[in-house]
């Protein structure tokens, strides 16, 4: 029935707000877990903020994972995707620092605390959890250097 034909005088409209969806990678649990896994992978269980941003970008999609692995093996091409900085990572780090899972050292690097390290091992043990992310991190065989990170961010491209 077309809208015009309805007798609208008697109809009471009621609008209620529905809960909005949220991508799971924007949920605190997910991101905290992934940050912990990333740091576990880093040398000395510590990383700079920039390194974290790059790995945080790399871990997210199948495309970015492949691109990152390629870049590590010096197979870089011009059409490689651009690294995105996510403000949400900073929020997640703030939470993790407050939770005492991470520690900011005087020179600014961030490292796992004992508590964080323990939870990470727990996450590592459950084989059904974060499968793709773990698989990606295990593909990174070499240590990720600052230089590679800078390259990737094109901060010293000339």
Partner 1 sequence: MRLRQLALRINTAEGPFGVTVPFGPGLVVLRADNSTGKSTCIQSIIYALGIEGMLSASYEVPLQYALTERLEYRGREVPVVESEVLLEIENSNGAVLTLRRRIRGARSDTKLVTVWNGPALSAPGEYEERDYYVRMEGAAQRPLGLHYMLANFLGWDLPTVNRFDGSECPLYLECIFPLFIIEQKHGWSGIQARLPLHYRIREVGKRATEFVLRLDAYAIAFRRQALREEATRILSNWRLIAQEIRTLAERVGAVVRGLPLDVPSNIDVLNAIGILVPRRDAWIPLPEAVSEDRRRLQELESMEIPRVQEISGALTEALRASEKELATLESSGFLLFKEVEIEKRESDSITERLVALNDDLKNNQDVLRLRNFGSVASLPSTLGRCPTCDQAISGSLLIQVQSGTLMTVEENIEFIRSQSVTFESMRRDAQAVLDAKRQKLRSIQNRVEELRTQIRTQKASLVSDARMPSMAAIQERISLGNRIRMLNDAESEIDRLTNSLTELQESWVEVQQQISALSGEELSAEDEQKLADLESTFKEQVTQYGLGSVPVGELRISRESYRPIHDGFDLGFNLSASDMIRTIWAYLYGLLEVARRYSTNHLGLLILDEPRQQETAAISFGEFLHRAATARDANQQVIFATSEESRNLKAMLGSVPHQYLEFEGKILSKLE
Residues 6+ apart with CB under 8 A from 101: 32, 36, 112, 113, 115, 116, 119
**Which residues from 83-122 bind partner 1, rule CB under 8 A?**
88-89, 91-92, 95, 98-101, 118-119, 122
Closer of 100 and 146 to partner 1 (Cβ): 100
The site string for partner 1 over 23-62 (x = CB under 8 A, - otherwise) reads xxxxxxxxxxx---------------------------xx
Tell me if 6 contacts partner 1 by CB under 8 A. Answer: no
Closer of 15 and 155 to partner 1 (Cβ): 15
Place of tokens 């590590």: 72
Contact between residue 73 and residue 94 where contact means Cβ atoms under 8 Å apart: no
Give the whole-angstrom CA distance, residue 97 versus residue 112. 9
From the list 43, 75, 129, 154, which residue makes contact with partner 1 (rule: CB under 8 A)?
Answer: 129
Closer of 115 and 143 to partner 1 (Cβ): 115
Contact between residue 52 and residue 89 where contact means Cβ atoms under 8 Å apart: yes
Closer of 76 and 111 to partner 1 (Cβ): 111
Tell me if 147 contacts partner 1 by CB under 8 A. Answer: no
Contact between residue 72 and residue 142 where contact means Cβ atoms under 8 Å apart: yes
- Rounded (10°) angle between helices 62-72 and 146-153: 120
User: Which residues of the chain form contacts with partner 1 (CB under 8 A)?
Assistant: 17-33, 61-62, 88-89, 91-92, 95, 98-101, 118-119, 122-123, 126, 128-132
């Amino acid at each position: 029935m077309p809208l015009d034909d309805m007798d609208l005088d008697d109809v009471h409209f009621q609008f209620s707000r529905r809960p909005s969806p949220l991508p799971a990678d924007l949920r605190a649990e997910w991101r905290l877990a992934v940050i912990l896994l990333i740091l576990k992978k880093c040398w000395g269980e510590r990383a700079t903020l920039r390194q974290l941003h790059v790995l945080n970008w790399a871990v997210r999609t199948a495309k970015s994972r492949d691109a990152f692995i390629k870049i590590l093996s010096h197979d870089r091409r011009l059409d490689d995707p651009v690294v995105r900085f996510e403000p949400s990572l900073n929020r997640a780090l703030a939470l993790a620092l407050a939770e005492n899972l991470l520690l900011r050292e005087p020179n600014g690097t961030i490292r796992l605390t004992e508590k964080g390290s323990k939870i990470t091992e727990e996450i590592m043990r459950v084989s059904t959890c974060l499968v793709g992310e773990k698989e990606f991190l295990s593909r990174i065989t070499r240590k990720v250097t600052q230089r590679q990170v800078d390259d990737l961010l094109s901060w010293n491209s000339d």
